[in-house]
Amino acid sequence: MILRAKYALLEPGEVRSDVRLEIDGSHITAFSSGYRPGSMSADYDFGTAVITPGLVNAHCHLELEFCSGQVPYRGSFVDWLQVIRDMKKERGGQATAHPAESLKGLLAAGCTTVLDHHTVDLDWEAIEGSGLRYVPFREFFEFDNHAPELAAMRERSRYSYAPHAPYTASLEIARACRRLASEQDRPISGHLSESLGEIHFIRDGRDPEIVELLSRAGAFDPGFSGTGKTPIRLYADEGLLDGAAYAIHVNYLEDGDLELLTELRPTVVFCPRSHSFFKHPRHPLPRYLAAGVPVALGTDSLASNERLSPLHEAALVRGEYPEVAAADVFAAITVRGLEPLGWAQRLGRLEPGQLADVAVFSMPADPGPDFAALLDAVIDCQAAAMTIVDGKIRHSTVLRPARPL
C-alpha cells in the first residue's frame, strides 16, 4: 500500500514535503520526499494532507463510556464519584461489556494506541477485533488491605497493574503492583498528586473528603495517621517510580517533588480537559518539560471529558500553554506515551522498519511547511481521513483508492 500527501510529520519537529509512504504487511518499508520520475503511483493520494505516526492516548477509563455527559462536577469529588458508583450499581456492577463507540471515536481521531485503566472485565475479544492497540492496566484499590494476594492480582490482570492512587490503594497494594509489573518487564500506571486533598491526607493523615470517600467504600484505615511525605516522595522512597511508570495527572508540586521526578523520570500523563473539568489551577506542564521530565497526554474518562481524542487535548495545550513548543506537544501525543512500554523503537515515527501505525489528516488549505503550523492544522482537523494500525486500515473516510489494490 502506497500513500501520498503534501506533508508528513515524521517525528517531533521534523517535516517532509511531497511524501510517499510505502507499507508492506505490518511495516513501513519505504519513505521518500520530493518528486521521483517513474515512481509507482500511489494507492491513496490525499493531496493537501498531513501524514503522521499514529496518535497515542496515554490514559483513559474506557469502561466509563456510559457516563458520557451525565456526571456534572459541582465542587465535590466524593459526590461526583458517588454518582458514578450509583450508576455502576444500576448496571449490575459492570460498566460496559464493550466500549464500542469509544474505540471507534479513538480510531476516527487518528489514535492507534490507548492505555486504559479498568476495574471490570470487558469484552476483550471485541476490543482486540477493533484493531486498536489496547493496553489494559488493571486498577487496584483497597486502602485498608495490608496483605494483598499476589496470585489473585495476577489472575485479574491482562497486561499490567495500576495502584489507583496513594490515597485509595495501600502501600502494600502499590508494592505488589510494582513487583508484579517488574516480573513481567512492564510499566505500572497510577494517579499521583492529583489533588491538594491527596497531598494533605498522605502527608498529615487528614482530609475530610478523602476520609469520607474511603468510608463510603468501606476501605478507611483508622490506623493511618499520615506519612510525613508528599505522595511523590512516598512513591519515590518506596521504589514505586523505579523502572517504567506512568504518573497520571501530577497536578500539584510540593517542595522537592520536581527534583524527584527529574531524577526518576516517570512519564507524567497530563489530562488537560479533565484538569479543566475539575477546576484545578494551571498545570505545572511547562516546569516538567523545562526539567526534562517526559510528558504524555491522556484524556481520562467520558465522565470528565467530552471526547477521548489526543488532538482535543493537544488543542487545549496549544491554546493555554503557548510557551510549550509544538514539537513537545506532538511528542506528548505520539512517542512519549510509548516509551514506558518499550515500544518507542518500533512505533511513533515514520521511517522504514517501523510498525505501520499511521494517521492521515486532510486539510482545507495548505498551511506551508512550518512544523507548528502543520500541527495546528492537524489539530483543527480533529478527525482523520484514514487510520492504519499494524498495516491495516481501521478507519477511513476515503470512498475508494486511487488505483485498485
Domain count, the chain: 2
pLDDT of residue 92: 73
Q: What is the pTM of this model?
A: 0.96
Task: For 267-348, list the strands marked E by DSSP.
Answer: 267-270, 295-297
Residue 310 domain-assigned?
yes
| Same domain, residue pair 310 and 385 | no
Phi, psi of 393 (to 5 degrees): -70, 120
pLDDT of residue 394: 97
Which residue range(s) make up the domain with 47? 2-54+349-396
pLDDT of residue 403: 57
Average pLDDT over residues 53-80: 93
Which of these ranges, 98-107, 327-336, 396-405, has the smallest mean pLDDT? 396-405
Residue 405 domain-assigned?
no
Task: Tell me: pLDDT of 402 over 80.
Answer: no
Residue 403 domain-assigned?
no
| Same domain, residue pair 62 and 192 | yes
| Same domain, residue pair 47 and 60 | no
Average pLDDT over residues 226-246: 97
| Same domain, residue pair 31 and 60 | no
| Same domain, residue pair 133 and 169 | yes
Task: Tell me: pLDDT of 400 over 70.
Answer: no
| Same domain, residue pair 80 and 42 | no
DSSP state, residue 66:
G
| Same domain, residue pair 251 and 168 | yes
| Same domain, residue pair 182 and 253 | yes
pLDDT of residue 172: 98
| Same domain, residue pair 91 and 163 | yes
| Same domain, residue pair 265 and 305 | yes
pLDDT of residue 166: 98
What strands lie across the sheet with 188-192, from one edge to the other? 55-60, 111-118, 133-140, 160-163, 188-192, 245-249, 267-270, 295-297
pLDDT of residue 404: 54
| Same domain, residue pair 172 and 209 | yes
